[in-house]
């Protein structure tokens, strides 16, 4: 519901949260990152095990695959990167 997130912006009537916790599928390490608003993150290196994460099939970015929140365009209901 719009207005419920104090760190969000509203796009298309939806609160967009730029914080997402990425969890490494190899070692389980989790880190909260700030997602970029205008670019996709196709690769992410885990700080603990150095695994290089890539989006899963049919996902546009690592946040959509491994994050606690989808990327900002997907949250807004618009086309991803």
H/E stretch holding 14:
strand 14-17
* Nearest Cα residue to 44 out of 60, 59, 66: 66
More confident residue, 56 or 37: 56
Residue 67: both structure tokens together:
């994050």
pLDDT in tens, 57-73: 999 999 999 999 999 98
Which pTM was predicted?
A: 0.84
Q: Which residues pair with 16 in a beta bridge?
A: 9
Average pLDDT of the chain? 89
Q: How many residues does the chain have?
A: 81
């Amino acid at each position: 519901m719009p207005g419920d997130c104090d760190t969000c912006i509203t796009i298309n009537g939806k609160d967009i949260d730029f914080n997402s916790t990425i969890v490494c599928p190899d070692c389980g390490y989790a880190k909260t990152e700030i997602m970029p608003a205008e670019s996709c993150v196709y690769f992410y290196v885990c700080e603990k095990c150095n695994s290089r994460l890539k989006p899963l099939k049919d996902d546009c970015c690592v946040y959509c695959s491994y994050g606690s929140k989808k990327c900002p365009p997907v949250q807004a209901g618009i086309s991803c990167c």
